[in-house]
């Protein structure tokens, strides 16, 4: 008899197989094993990129600080300055895969009016670990270890102002004061006070107004807490010729019966000068005077004033002049007075280059100017140096008829009233004058 097929047994085996397929025990382990590389890569990338972000923030802070230091240094030592500052932030050039590059004389980003710019870039190579599992490409390989490259760059511009007006404030007075002065116009000039500055009612239109302490409204851009500017012209006192007057200093008559000035102290008409010329006591004009000094002249007024007496003192075309007030403290006056006009140009070379009027810094009395710019009128190309003078400035300074458009004024302190204006500026390079320069300050631009 043929053997019958045991369908019941086969069905049982089939059900067992189906049950095994439905049994989920152990599946998690399989799925986990299959997904583990991706999970490790994602987790690793998250951890590493968080570290990279943290590291880049620190690098950016270091690059910004370093480039500000470089731009503030503003000299051939800018790169060393940048490296030293970056090292203070823990990034040392050539150590731990760190590279630092500093550059100068770069074009600044658009919208930056001053240039050139400085830049500092910090680059570091960081080893990759789990991020490479997901195929994150390495920048380079060192000893079979993949590295990624992270960089941060800072850019800054170095700014400093040259000043057509510098108030030294050695007396401790407020350096620059504007009393209303609704028509004052110092546009094209920047001004600096080594003490404070206060302008009520009007900012004087100066491009930049800087002060060592507080600047209250002086300048279109008013800056406080600027470094002091040292007197850049005091050293010229060594060039003042020795006093040859022998103690004789005639003064113009103060009373009806006082003796008149000697003829040598009264000038009129064309006058030829060369080298150093000394006048003992007051010099008074008795008519318009034209100075012919093609090779330049230094007019030293010893213990006296320059009394224009309503007339004009001018230099002829091609002639240059420096007027020096020197002498001793006491009852003498050491300033230009008397209405009229001063219309002359300073030399463009030599020891007195760019200096039109120089008041000996040893003088502390008889030095104040109460009507600067209009009594006499100042049409001057060059520097007027009055380091211990309290000046009241009400007129308009323009260039001399035969000179470049350049004017600089150094005082102890100054009050600007009414229409005080400096019209002569922009041509100081041609005039041979280096204006007082402020300290370099850096500004981040990128």
The span from the CA of 387 to the CA of 362, in Å, is: 9
Assess contact for 56 and 150: CB atoms under 8 A: yes
Minimum mean pLDDT among 143-147, 222-226, 245-249, 298-302: which range? Answer: 143-147
208 compared with 137, residue with greater pLDDT: 208
pLDDT of residue 441: 80
Indicate if the pLDDT at residue 292 is higher than 80.
yes
From 15-29, 176-190, 235-249, 395-409, the region with the lowest mean pLDDT: 15-29
% the chain with pLDDT above 90: 63
Positive or negative CA dihedral for 28, 29, 30, 32? positive
Closest CA to 215 of 244, 167, 176: 176
Report residue 133 as tokens.
């599992």
**3-state helix/strand/coil string of the chain:** CCCCCCHHHHHHHHHHHHHHHHCCCCHHHHHHHHHHHHHHHHHHHHHHHHHHHHHHHHHHHHHHHHHHHHHHHCCCCHHHHHHHHHHHCCCCCCCCCEEEEEEEEECCCCCCCCCCEEEEEEEEEEECCHHHHHCCCCCEEECCEEEEEEEEEEEEEEECCECCEEECCCCCCCCEEEECCCCCECCCCEEEECCCEEEECCCCCCCEEEECCCEECCCCEEECCCCCCCCCCHHHHHHCCCCCCCCCCCCCCCCCCCCCCCHHHEEEEEEECCEEEEEECCEEEEEEEEEECCCCEEEEEECCCEECCCCEEEECCCCCEEEEEECCCCCCCCCEECCCEEEEECCCCCCCCCEEEEECCCCCCCCCEEEECECCEEEEEEEEEEEEEEEEECCEEECCCCCCCCEEEEEEEEEECCCCEECCCCCHHHHCCCCCECCCEEEECC
The answer, as to whether pTM is greater than 0.85, is no
pLDDT digits (tens, 9 = 90+) for 163-200: 999 999 999 999 999 987 667 888 889 999 999 999 98
Q: In this predicted model, what pLDDT tens digit does every residue of 349-393 receive, in sequence order?
A: 999 999 999 999 999 999 999 877 677 899 999 999 999 999 998
Least confident of 25-39, 152-166, 251-265, 288-302: 25-39
pLDDT category of residue 49 using cuts at 50, 70 and 90: confident
Which pLDDT belongs to residue 255? Answer: 78
- How far, in Å, CA of 97 to CA of 226, rounded? 39
Read off the tokens for 45: 């990338």
What is d(CA 73, CA 212) in angstroms, rounded to the nearest whole number?
A: 20
């Amino acid at each position: 008899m043929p053997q019958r097929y045991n369908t019941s047994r086969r069905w049982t085996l089939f059900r067992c197989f189906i049950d095994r397929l439905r049994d989920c025990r152990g599946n998690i382990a399989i799925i986990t094993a299959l997904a583990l590389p991706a999970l490790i890569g994602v987790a690793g990338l998250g951890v590493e990129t968080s570290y990279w972000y943290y590291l880049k923030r620190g690098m950016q802070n270091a690059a910004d600080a370093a480039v500000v230091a470089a731009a503030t240094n503003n000299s051939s030592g800018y790169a060393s300055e940048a490296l030293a500052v970056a090292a203070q932030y823990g990034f040392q050039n050539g150590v731990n895969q760190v590279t630092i590059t500093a550059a100068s004389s770069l074009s600044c980003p658009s919208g930056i009016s001053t240039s050139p710019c400085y830049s500092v870039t910090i680059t570091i190579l960081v080893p990759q670990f789990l991020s490479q599992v997901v195929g994150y490409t390495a920048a380079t390989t060192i000893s079979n270890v993949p590295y990624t490259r992270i960089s941060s760059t800072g850019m800054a511009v170095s700014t400093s102002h040259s000043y057509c007006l510098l108030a030294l404030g050695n007396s401790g007075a407020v350096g620059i004061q504007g009393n209303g002065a609704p028509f004052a116009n110092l546009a094209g000039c920047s001004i600096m006070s080594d003490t404070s500055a206060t302008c009520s009612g009007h900012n004087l239109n100066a491009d930049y107004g800087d002060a060592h302490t507080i600047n209250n409204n002086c300048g279109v851009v008013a800056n406080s807490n600027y470094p002091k500017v040292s007197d850049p012209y005091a050293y010229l006192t060594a060039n003042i010729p020795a006093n040859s007057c022998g103690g004789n200093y005639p003064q113009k008559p103060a009373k009806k019966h006082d003796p008149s000035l000697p003829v040598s102290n009264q000038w009129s008409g064309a006058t030829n000068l060369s080298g150093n010329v000394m006048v003992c006591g007051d010099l008074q004009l008795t008519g318009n005077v034209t100075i012919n000094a093609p090779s330049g002249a230094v007019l030293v007024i010893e213990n006296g004033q320059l009394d224009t007496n309503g007339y004009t003192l001018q230099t002829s075309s091609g002639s240059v002049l420096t007027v020096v007030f020197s002498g001793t403290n006491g009852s003498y006056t050491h300033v230009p007075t008397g209405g009229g006009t001063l219309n002359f140009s300073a030399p463009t070379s030599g020891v007195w280059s760019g200096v039109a009027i120089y008041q000996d810094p040893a003088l502390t009395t008889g030095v104040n100017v109460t009507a600067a710019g209009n009594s006499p009128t100042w049409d001057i190309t060059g520097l007027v140096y009055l380091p211990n003078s309290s000046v009241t400035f009400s007129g308009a300074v323009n260039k001399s008829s035969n000179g470049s458009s350049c004017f600089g004024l150094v005082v102890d302190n100054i009050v600007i009233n009414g229409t005080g204006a400096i019209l002569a500026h922009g041509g100081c390079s041609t005039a041979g004058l280096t204006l007082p320069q402020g300290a370099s300050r850096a500004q981040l631009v990128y």
